Each structure stands twice: as structure tokens, then as C-alpha cells.
Structure 1
Amino acid sequence: MKSMEPQRKTDSGKPVFSRFRDLGREQVNVELQVHTNWTDGEATVLEVLQTAKERGLAELAFTEHVREDTSWFPEFKAEILSAVDCVGAMRVYVGCETKAMDDNGRLDVSQSVLDACDIVLGVVHRLPDGEGGYLDFKRLSFEETAEIEFRLSTGMIANAPIDVLGHPGGMSLRRYGRFPENYFRTLMTATLERGIAIEINSSYLIDMPGFLALCDDINPFVSIGSDAHKLSDLGRCRDRLLELGVGLT
């Protein structure tokens, strides 16, 4: 279990997350979910780093989509490490985004990729059917989708080797524009108890002010990510938070 009172920097080079009410300008000035042309992003690693530097970001995490049979991750990490000299003092992390495969927290990722990461985002992208396949979203109601997504998320929080619960409620939000508040509350409380972060994701959240109000109430550790797939996305979540008055101190 991770420490409940982390500092801003660790010897291992991993990002360390602040609790919501402790967010200031420094803690908000980060971009901790970025995708490149290694998977479904548009830009190269170097283009991302150069743009992030231009926008004054203090920290950036490359969190590429991976699966259990991903074989290219060493080359991806090497490209990042070879390019970081261009960014000055900006902290750069190598990470991945991996999906839940069952209610017990099994992830679609290899141990070798986990070992290579500074940050691991656990997400719900598909809804497993328990028989090696996936459920069809079109055949599920909002209530069914949200309940399955909640179970998968709870399993990751309890058992998976993740640092961040990425885009919580994201499948329900994308398809129905909502996710039950009591589910958000329970997930935030569970991440806090385990000492991992829950993501504030500007790409998925329909009602960011409402989500931030829950964060202010529960005060979980938070990760800030735009789910950036193109250069214009970089820093979008930071900017939205500042617009809403978060991190102005």
C-alpha cells in the first residue's frame, strides 16, 4: 500500500500526487495522460515534448495504450529517454494506460511493461463478458453499463498495480453523458484509502464542476490529464482547472 502523505518528488522518479485541496499552481501545471503516434495519437514523442515545453508544463507523462502482448514498449521508452534533453527542467515520465479484464483487477498488460513504467493508468475501455470476449454496449442499458464499469473500477482499485484510476466512469459518460454520483463517491473514497490517485480528465468529464465538488468533499489524491491525442490537447485539463479556480493559490 502506498503512503497516504506523499511528497512532490520521489527518488524513483515516479510522479507523486497531491490531494485535491492541496492543489496549487505547481500541482495543476501538469499533463499526465498523453498519447503519441506509437498508438492512436497524432504527434511524435519529440513534437509532444517541444509543445509541452512551449506551454510551460512542469510535468508530462506519456501513457501509451498497451495490451498483454505489446512488444514495442522498450523502443517507445528508449525514444522518450533519448528526447528528454530538449525539455530542460520539465519532469517526464514513461507510463502506460491499460484496461481492466475482470472484476478482480486483472489488467491487459505484461509484467515487463509494468516494470518499465513510472506511472500506470488503469481504465475501463471494454466490458468483459467473463468468457474471453466483450459485451456489446448497444445491448446494455445505462444502469447495466454503469454498474459493470463500477465493478471493474473497484476491482482495479483494490487489487491492480496501478497508480491512477484513469477517466473514472468514462464509458458511461461517453455513451450516456452521466455516471452515478454515489459511484464517483465510492471510487474516490476507495482510491484515497489505498493511496492512489483518481484522474481529473477533461476529455471525459461532462460535468467537471460537479466532479470537482466531490473532490473537494472527499479530498482524494488526484491526477490531472487531458487524454491528449494531438498537440492542441496538451495542457487542456490544466487550463480548464485554472478557469474553474482550482490551483490559483
Structure 2
Amino acid sequence: MNGQESICTSRPVFHRYRDLSRARLNVELQVHTSWTDGQATALEILQTAKERGLAALAFTEHVREDTTWFPRFREEVLSAARGFDDISVYVGCETKAMDEDGRLDVSQDVLDRCDIVLGVVHRFPDGRGGYLDFEQLSYEKTADLEFRLSMGMVKNAPIDVLAHPGGMSLRRHGRFPEACFRDMMTATLERQIAIEINSSYLVDMPAFLALCEEVNPFVSIGSDAHRLSELGHCRDQLLELGAGQS
């Protein structure tokens, strides 16, 4: 990943946690638009990002294996970005794990068009083409399934970022095992991909940052922004907590 341009032909540069500076925190690398479940257009998002002084922005839209609109989405984003020379703009996707071997719900055509790929756990496949019911799963089972799906992506999937790690457990049970976070960070570091610091899902940001300080993984900064008001939230929270002081 070499350099950054406003209309990117490169990819985002990820840094290890202890190497973060205020400038390197000044990014927003998970944003959703009205192409899926976001509330604003690419142009509106770029205008707000400029007002908030963000230096880099990644549009990471939700995709499925049968998604056909991604080329038009990418074209719209890059067209809007031509008016924002002071922001590095990346076009990517957020795609979910389909099994414990790291298979993703995304086509190769979409992957080939991405500057950044976020791998996530959103649902738990039941092995029969459907999904398990979250309401029927204990915290322990939820955490175990999420961990195994995450590790499959980290080890085998063509992803740049393990996004909102532990997110399903955190949303439904308010916790995720520290040992699992540590193992996931260690695995991402071994593969030299990033693990996301996500202000939308993390219920105990200081504890997660303490683990980042310990393991020192490559990190990605993401607010999981679906509304204009959420842009830059993760950056702001990290700065409030004293991150990026190197």
C-alpha cells in the first residue's frame, strides 16, 4: 500500500497501534451510503468529511455474492471525489463470513474493484444454507461461533481488515472474551492485516485499546458511519482517550 491520492489507485495504509499519531488517526475507514443502509450520498458524506477535517475516507458498502451494482457505486464515489483533492478516497466493501474456512459472501468481480475489503461476522451459518437464530444461542455459544468465523477469515480470506471484531457478541450480550480478542489481534498481526477499532460496537474502548497496546496489531479506524453525524466519531473518541500520542 503505497501512498494516498484523492481519487485512489492505491490502497489505505494501516499502521501498528503503537505507531499511531494524531495524523494517522484522522481517518474514517468504514462508511456506508444510501446505496445500502446508509442515510446520505457519497457527495454529502465527502462534504461533511471535509468540514470535519478528515484526511482519508473509505466507502465500504455492504455486498453479497450476487451484488451487481458495485461498478456503478464505485463510479459514483470516484466522480464525487474529484471535487475533494484534500481527502484520500477509497472504495471498498464490507462482506460477511459464510463458513469457518473463510469463504466470503462476495464475488471476485467486486473484490477486484475494491481498494479495501472489510471482513465481518454478521450471521452464523447453520451449514444447510440458512442461519442460526441468535435468540436461541447462549453468550458462550455466540462468542465461540463468532471467534471461529473470524479466525477463518483472518487465516484464509482475501480481506484487508477484520471489521467490528466481536461485534455480534457485543451487540447481543455486551461482552466478548478478552482471550479471543487477543488471539484475533495476534492472528491479524501474523498475516499483516488490520483489526478494526470500531466505535459503534466496542462497549469498552479503553480495555480494547489496552489489548492493542499489548499486542500492537495493525489497526483500522472505523465509526461504521451510516449517518453524517457519525463521521469521525471513532477518531474523536480515540483522541479523547489519549491515543495517537506517538
TM norm structure 1: 0.96
Which string of whole-angstrom CA distances, capped at 9 and with x for unpartnered residues, describes residues 174-230 of structure 1?
A: 000000000000000000000000000000000000000000000000000000000
Contact 1:102/1:155, CA 8 A, preserved across alignment: yes
2:25 alignment counterpart: 28
Preserved contact between residue 3 and residue 10 of structure 2 (Cα < 8 Å): no
Counterparts in 2 of 1:12 and 1:194: CA distance versus 1, 3 Å: farther
Greater CA deviation, 82-91 or 17-26?
A: 82-91
Counterpart among 123, 127, 134 of residue 124 in structure 2:
127
C-alpha deviation, 1:8, in angstroms = 5.6
- RMSD over aligned CA atoms reads 1.3
**What is the rounded CA distance, in whole Å, between the counterparts of 2:237 and 2:2 in structure 1?**
25
TM-aligned CA deviation for residue 24 of structure 1: 0.1
Displacement of 1:7 in angstroms is: 6.3
User: Is 2:60 aligned against 1:63?
Assistant: yes
Aligned length: 244
Match of 1:153 in 2: 150
Any conservation in 2 of the 1:172–1:179 contact (CA below 8 Å)?
Answer: yes
| 1:61-111 residue CA offsets vs partner (Å, 9 max, x unmatched) | 000000000010010000011111221221000000000000000000000
Residue 41 of structure 1: aligned partner: 38
Structure 2: any 5+ residue segments left out of the alignment?
none
Matched to 1:42, the amino acid is: Q
Q: Could you say which residue in structure 1 is the equivalent of 2:188?
A: 191
Find the counterpart in structure 2 of residue 139 from structure 1: 136
Q: Which runs of 5+ in 1 are unaligned?
A: 1-5
Q: Calculate percent identity across the aligned residue pairs.
A: 73
Which amino acid is 1:192 matched to? L
Aligned counterpart for 2:91 among listed residues 64, 89, 94: 94
Q: After superposition, where does 1:1-249 map in structure 2 within 5 Å?
A: 9=4, 12-249=9-246
SS across alignment from 2:82: helix
Q: Which consecutive segments of 4 or more residues in structure 1 shift more than 6 A?
A: none
Write the letter of the residue equivalent to 2:65: E
How far the C-alpha of 1:26 sits from its partner, in A, is 1.2
